[in-house]
């Protein structure tokens, strides 16, 4: 008979952003521990992690266990002793491989027993990025205190005790609207929760929000709200339209990041309305709306105050104040950084507007607005620059220069913005690597990975052909770090195959636009019939050269030493291909190289590289070496992982 | 509608009924209720403790000359320590809101992750900011470490922002408009305080003198800590509480210097480190003193 199972870990409010990860762990840990043909579903609200499974066996199948005893030659007393110990008569003993054995039947354990034993371990192993203890110093660590546990197998409670909490069949409803203690069965669990103002499935809560808010652009905010509530309701509020004179960026940041509201747009324009998601059953008296409106008003008042105060001093006049803002103890102030960014921007080819933007780029760090809304750094500088009459080319570059803040984010919209952004990030990278602040493992306090990835993204997507290795000023650590970021970008963000990336990067990565072009070419040629076999041959050539410890030795191919037949054919075809390659775009060039395959195959089939005559041998190695060197400028084919 | 002081009375009564000692504010400048010995030192060690008190908290940099409706140089916190935290701590907390007239069924309460950390005290904990209709009214923290020491019993710390809470209940947009006592506004009681301290902290405080005071207090705390001998039979007599007061002085002087713009970001980290070293030193000495101190107490 198969049984359903329900586990509910009742906790105090779990941080919203950790919940889905915890559910994955719970599901996997459970499957690992229980296994078999079961179906597992997980779900959660801020106060409960829930796992429901069906198809659990009531008990494990019985097993026959073999117990080995003394050898068949052993004295009778020893045999009798063994039989007695196993609870059988000596006559019942079997003989196997020269020994007496007993075949014992062991009853399969009940699933209830197994669960009682394994659940504490499963719960304890759920990973959270930050944990706490609450019972005792060496007590269980979990994300927040566990307050109740429901563990039901069929109709029975699976007895467990975790951090002093014993399992039972009672759950809890919504903190304010529901009953604190509700006895449930597996069949009525979700319904009982619903009656007590807890919508268990995240999709159900999402639905309740989306049905009012409509199409949501901000999936992140939506998810946050889904996992901050057990019974979400949407209320609509408004603010004085006078505040719309403040930049939309500021208003939206306050609403979204600080208050977790949805901003409301009409025809693409911000309106003076907002939508807030509550953990209640509506707001019949309008009290919640009024409270939220008051909070928002206070926040907007602050923002307005900051805006007006900040205008009293122009950005240009703030640059000198950056002397008092430390970038990093050993790397000096933001004023020094500003000077470096300016110089770098010019060095990268930035025009006067770009250099002006670089000059003003960090000045907003001294404004009240950025001190309050740090996430708006750059944006605020851009807005102030516009307000203070800087040309569009300048203010947009300031506005964008932190971009891309993630791999999903877009790059700065103008060339000036792209150059200032690269200069800023490059300066941080060079500086930090210069003083040994190199990221290790998860530790990356200056977000250097993001900075390097940002540069890669801008160079590639902005089609900027800047000499990367020169930019990195020959720092070997930084080059290695950067190569990792380039790999990450092309593999994880762009989806190229790792061996294609290795093949391309091995032939140079100084120009990332060129790297992308070569990658696209190799990706296109990869599926053609000649490509992989030729790659395999190139690897073979490389191995032969390596074994012979042959590195070209400055020799040239002596055509007179070439044997007629496959060797001469290869040489001729090589020259022929080489001639056709000139000025070909990458993809046809690769196709042309791949067309060498029949001659290469035939050469290896018929010609012995290790010829008796050392001159002939050296000439053959030179032929192979030249072929490899000349055809590896686009990609190093030997890096391609082949299946032939 | 309850006045500001009526709300304080009710909260104190509520927590008194739940076994808390009602302490009076600590008579030294502190940046938060957490810094007073009633929290910082009492949370250490295995002895249960429950206390509630209003703590005027001074944050020189937050001063706004009495002009900003929501920001104050000195605001009042109601600080509650429940050590160890009871299993129904959140229900007890929600009960305190009901006690001051908030009908929870008509409002929106959310617990949003907010972990607390004080680099100057070598202390941290995890918890939430409690949001009432979008307004943060309480900081709720389960302490994990204090003075760099893992805590034996995990206390719950509840810190209510009394002005905000009152403004919420009295439907006021500015804390200066809240009614402190019937017929008396917060402005009448506190405005001059806010204005004058803003002027002093931002414009007139003598930086050289502040540094000198900082060094004097730092020196005295350091001197005393060096004299403390954990093996001494007399250690219960040792003046750790006065030592800690010098640490608190340092902390406040640091905050004032900071508001005055006298501390660069580079120096900041170093000065915080100096204060932390002292705070951690006091916490460790305090732990060493505890066993002996309890014996002396019991004998009297």
- Summarised one tens digit per residue, pLDDT across range A33-52 is 887 789 999 999 999 999 99
Q: How confident is the model over A275-332, as pLDDT tens digits?
A: 999 999 999 999 999 999 999 998 998 898 889 889 999 999 999 999 878 788 788 8
**Is residue B177 domain-shared with residue B30, that is, in the same domain?**
yes
Q: How far apart are CA A203 and CA A227, in angstroms?
A: 11
With b for 16 or more beta-carbon neighbours within 10 A and e for fewer, the A11-50 pattern comes to bbbbbbebbeebbebbeebbeeebeeebebebbbbbbbbb
pLDDT over threshold 60, residue A644: no
Q: How far is CA A281 from CA A212, A291, A395, B26, B108, in A?
A: 14, 16, 46, 42, 9
B155, pLDDT greater than 90: yes
A323 and A443 inside one domain = yes
Is residue A354, in this structure, part of any structural domain at all? Answer: yes
Q: Judge whether A451 and A428 are in contact, CB under 8 Å.
A: yes
Q: Two tokens at A325? A: 């803002």
Residues A57 and A19: beta-carbon distance below 8 Å: no
Question: Cβ of B115 and A130 within 8 Å?
Answer: yes
Place of tokens 């929000």: A209
Could you say which of B170, B201, B232 is where a domain stops? B201
Minimum Cα–Cα distance from A290: chain B residue: B133
- Which residue in the set B104, B168, B261 is minimally distant from A176, CB to CB? B104
Given an 8 Å threshold on Cβ–Cβ distance, is B264 in contact with A324? yes
Task: Say if residues A27 and A42 touch (Cβ distance below 8 Å).
Answer: yes
Assess whether pLDDT exceeds 60 at residue B300.
no
When pLDDT is cut at 50, 70 and 90, the band that residue B173 belongs to is: confident
C-alpha pair distances (Å), A156 with each of A1, A48, A55, A237: 15, 20, 15, 48
Q: What percent of chain A has pLDDT over 70?
A: 100
Rg (C-alpha) for chain B, rounded Å, is 20
Map A299-338 to HEC letters.
Answer: HHHHHHHHHHHHHCCCHHHHHHHHHHCEEEHHHEEHHHHH
CA nearest A178 in B: which residue? B105
> For chain B, how many structural domains are there in total?
2
Of B201, B229, B250, which residue sits at a domain end? B201
The tokens describing B300, both together, are 């009297």
**For residue A384, pLDDT beyond 60:** yes
Give me the DSSP letters along B173-195.
SSGGGSEEETTEEHHHHHHHHHH
Quote the tokens at residue A469: 């290795």
| A16 contacts on B by Cβ (under 8 Å) | 113
Q: Which domain holds residue B233?
A: 206-299
Tokens 């640490």 map to which residue?
A: B247
CB neighbours of residue B279 within 10 Å = 27
Q: How many residues does chain B have?
A: 300
Residue A265: what pLDDT?
93
A239-to-A185, A245, A263, A300, A452 alpha-carbon distances in Å: 47, 12, 11, 9, 41
Shared domain for A229 and A132, answered yes or no, is no
- Given an 8 Å threshold on Cβ–Cβ distance, is B142 in contact with A134? yes
Q: Is pLDDT at A540 greater than 80 in this prediction?
A: yes
CB-side neighbour CA atoms (13 Å) of A576 = 11
> 3-state DSSP helix/strand/coil percent for chain A, to nearest 5?
50, 15, 30
Same domain as B64, residue B36: yes
- We report the CATH number of the domain holding residue A167 as 3.30.70
**Which phi and psi angles does B241 have, rounded to 5°?**
-65, -45
Predicted ipTM?
0.93
Q: Please give the mean pLDDT across all residues of chain A.
A: 91
User: Average pLDDT of chain B?
Assistant: 93
Same domain, A499 and A583: no
Domain co-membership, A352 together with A481: yes
Domain that holds residue A578: 528-639
- Of chain B, the end-to-end C-alpha distance in Å amounts to 47
pLDDT of B293 reads 67
Name residue, tokens 């209720």.
Answer: B33
Number of helices (H), then strands (E), in chain B: 8, 11
Q: Are A156 and A124 in contact (CB under 8 A)?
A: no
The model's confidence at residue B218, banded by pLDDT at 50, 70 and 90, is very high
- Identify the pLDDT of residue A612: 85
The total domain count for chain A is 5
B295 pLDDT above the threshold of 70:
no
Same domain, B158 and B215: no
Residues B173 and B70 in one domain: yes
pLDDT at B292: 66
If pLDDT is split at 50, 70 and 90, which confidence band does B52 have? very high
Q: How far is A258 from chain B (nearest CA, A)?
A: 9
B246 CB-contact burial (10 Å; exposed 0-12 / middle 13-18 / buried 19+): buried
- Judge: A302–B128 Cβ closer than 8 Å, yes or no: no
The nearest CA of chain B is from the CA of A47 a distance in Å of 10
User: In this structure, is residue A523 part of a structural domain?
Assistant: no
Domain contains A319: yes
User: Residue A257: is the preceding peptide bond cis (ω within 30°)?
Assistant: no
Measure in Å the smallest separation between the Cα of B238 and chain A Cα atoms: 28
pLDDT tens for each residue of A81-91: 888 888 888 88
Same domain, residue pair B160 and B246 = no
Residue B171 token pair: 């439907």
Average pLDDT, integer, range A240-248: 95
Q: Give the span between the Cα atoms of A594 and A588, in whole angstroms.
A: 10
pLDDT for position A552: 74
Query: B122 and B251, same structural domain?
Result: no
Q: Where is the domain boundary, B201, B221, B247?
A: B201
Q: Is residue A149 part of a domain?
A: yes
Same domain, A455 and A598: no
CATH number of the domain enclosing A490: 1.10.3210
Q: Could you tell me if B93 and B221 lie in one domain?
A: no
Please indicate whether, in this complex, the C-beta atoms of B111 and A13 are within 8 angstroms of each other.
yes
Pick B69's closest partner by Cβ from A134, A229, A298. Answer: A298
Asked whether residue B90 falls in the same domain as residue B186, the answer is yes
Lowest-confidence segment of A107-116, A538-547, A549-558, B271-280 by average pLDDT:
A549-558
In the listed set A464, A499, A518, which residue is the last one of a domain according to the structure?
A: A518
- Closest-CA residue of A relative to B71 is A302
For A329, the closest of B133, B142, B266 (CB atoms) is B266
> Is A642:A535 a contact under the CB 8 Å cutoff?
yes
Point out which residues pair with A288 in neighbouring strands.
none
The yes-or-no verdict on residue B4 having pLDDT over 70 is yes
pLDDT in tens, A104-156: 888 888 999 999 999 999 999 999 999 999 998 888 999 999 999 999 999 99
Contact (CB<8Å) B112/A285: no
| B252 shares a domain with B183 | no
Location of structure tokens 């946050």? A224
Chain A: give the shortest CA distance to residue B13, in Å: 23
Q: Look at residue A462 and tell me whether its pLDDT is greater than 80.
A: yes
Q: What's the CATH number where B115 sits?
A: 3.30.930.10
Using beta carbons and an 8 Å cutoff, which residues of B are at the interface with A?
Answer: 68-70, 85, 87, 90-91, 94, 104-113, 115, 125-126, 128, 132-135, 142, 144, 150-152, 154, 168, 171, 173, 261, 264-266, 269
């Amino acid at each position: 008979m198969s049984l359903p199972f329900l586990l509910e870990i009742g906790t105090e409010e779990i941080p919203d952003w950790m919940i889905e990860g915890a559910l994955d762990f719970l599901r996997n840990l459970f499957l690992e521990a229980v296994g078999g043909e079961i179906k597992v579903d997980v779900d959660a609200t801020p106060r409960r992690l829930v796992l429901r499974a069906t198809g659990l066996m009531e008990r494990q199948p019985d097993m026959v266990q073999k117990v080995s005893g003394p050898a068949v030659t052993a004295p009778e007393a020893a045999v009798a002793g063994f039989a007695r110990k196993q609870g059988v008569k000596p006559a019942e003993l079997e003989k196997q491989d020269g020994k007496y054995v007993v075949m014992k039947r062991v009853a399969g354990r009940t699933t209830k027993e197994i669960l009682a034993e394994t659940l504490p371990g499963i719960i304890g192993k759920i990973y959270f990025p930050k944990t706490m203890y609450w019972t005792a110093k060496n007590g269980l660590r979990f994300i927040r205190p566990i307050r109740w546990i429901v563990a039901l197998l069929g109709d029975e409670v699976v007895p467990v005790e975790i951090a002093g909490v014993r399992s039972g069949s009672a759950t809890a409803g919504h903190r304010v609207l529901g009953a604190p203690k509700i006895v449930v069965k597996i069949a009525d669990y979700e319904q009982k929760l619903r009656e007590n103002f807890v919508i268990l499935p995240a999709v159900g809560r999402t639905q309740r929000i989306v049905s009012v808010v409509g199409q949501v652009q901000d999936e992140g905010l939506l998810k946050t709200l889904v996992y901050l509530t057990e019974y979400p309701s949407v209320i609509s509020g408004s603010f004085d339209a006078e505040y719309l004179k403040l930049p939309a960026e500021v208003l939206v940041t306050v609403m979204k990041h600080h208050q977790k509201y949805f901003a409301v747009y009409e025809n693409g324009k911000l309106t003076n309305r907002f939508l807030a998601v509550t953990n209640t059953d509506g707001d019949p008296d309008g009290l919640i709306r009024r409270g939220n409106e008051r909070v928002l008003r206070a926040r907007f008042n602050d923002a307005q105050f900051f805006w007006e105060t900040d205008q009293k001093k122009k950005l240009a006049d703030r640059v000198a104040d950056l002397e008092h803002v430390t970038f990093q103890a050993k790397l000096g102030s933001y004023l020094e950084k500003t000077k470096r960014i300016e110089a770098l921007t010019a060095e990268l080819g930035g025009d006067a507007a770009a250099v002006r933007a670089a000059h003003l780029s960090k000045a907003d760090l001294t404004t009240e607005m950025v001190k309050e809304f740090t996430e708006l750094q750059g944006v605020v500088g851009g807005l102030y620059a516009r307000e203070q009459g800087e040309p569009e080319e300048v203010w947009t570059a300031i506005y964008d220069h932190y971009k891309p803040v993630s791999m999903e984010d877009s790059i700065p919209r103008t060339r000036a913005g792209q150059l200032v952004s690269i200069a800023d990030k490059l300066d941080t990278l060079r500086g930090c690597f210069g003083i040994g602040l190199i990221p290790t493992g998860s530790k990356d306090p200056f977000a250097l990975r993001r900075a390097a990835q940002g540069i890669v993204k801008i160079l590639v997507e902005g089609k900027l052909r800047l000499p990367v290795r020169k930019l990195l000023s020959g720092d070997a650590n930084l080059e290695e770090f950067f190569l990792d970021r380039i790999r990450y970008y092309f593999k994880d963000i762009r989806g190229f195959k790792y061996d294609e990336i290795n093949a391309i990067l091995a032939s140079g990565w100084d120009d990332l636009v060129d790297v992308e072009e070569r990658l696209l070419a190799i990706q296109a040629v990869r599926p053609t019939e000649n490509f992989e076999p030729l790659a395999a041959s190139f690897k073979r050539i490389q191995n032969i050269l390596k074994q012979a410890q042959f590195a070209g030795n400055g020799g040239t191919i002596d055509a007179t030493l070439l044997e007629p037949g496959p060797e001469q054919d290869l040489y001729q075809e090589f020259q022929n291909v080489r001639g056709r390659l000139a000025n070909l775009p990458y993809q046809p060039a690769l196709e042309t190289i791949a067309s060498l395959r029949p001659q290469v195959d035939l050469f290896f089939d018929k010609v012995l590289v290790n010829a008796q005559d050392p001159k002939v041998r050296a000439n053959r190695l030179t032929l192979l070496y030249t072929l490899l060197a000349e055809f590896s400028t686009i990609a190093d084919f030997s890096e391609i992982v082949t299946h032939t | 509608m309850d006045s500001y002081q009526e709300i304080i009375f009710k909260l104190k009564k509520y927590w008194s009924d739940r076994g808390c000692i009602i302490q009076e504010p600590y008579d030294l400048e502190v940046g938060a209720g957490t810094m007073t010995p009633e929290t910082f030192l009492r949370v250490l060690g295995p002895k249960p403790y429950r206390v509630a008190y209003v703590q005027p908290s001074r944050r020189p940099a937050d001063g706004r000359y009495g002009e900003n409706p929501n920001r104050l140089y000195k605001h009042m916190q109601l600080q509650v320590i429940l050590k160890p935290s009871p299993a129904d701590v959140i229900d007890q907390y929600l009960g305190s809101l009901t006690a001051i007239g908030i009908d929870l069924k008509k409002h929106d309460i959310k617990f949003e992750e907010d972990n607390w950390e004080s680099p100057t005290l070598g202390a941290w904990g995890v918890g939430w900011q409690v949001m009432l209709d979008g307004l943060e009214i309480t900081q709720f923290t389960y302490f994990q470490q204090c003075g760099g020491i893992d805590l034996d019993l995990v206390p719950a710390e509840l810190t209510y922002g009394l002005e905000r809470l009152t403004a919420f209940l009295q439907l006021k947009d500015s804390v200066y408009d809240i009614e402190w006592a019937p017929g008396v506004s917060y402005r009448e009681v506190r405005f001059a305080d806010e204005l004058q301290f803003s002027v002093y902290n931002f414009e007139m405080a003598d930086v050289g003198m502040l540094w000198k005071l900082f060094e004097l207090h730092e020196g005295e705390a350091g001197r005393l800590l060096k004299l403390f001998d954990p093996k001494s039979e007399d250690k219960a007599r040792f003046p750790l509480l006065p030592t800690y007061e010098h640490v608190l002085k340092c902390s406040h002087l640091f905050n004032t210097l900071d508001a005055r713009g006298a501390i660069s970001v580079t120096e900041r980290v170093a000065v915080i480190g100096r204060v932390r070293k002292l705070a951690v030193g006091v916490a460790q000495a305090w732990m060493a003193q505890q066993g002996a101190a309890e014996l002396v107490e019991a004998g009297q």
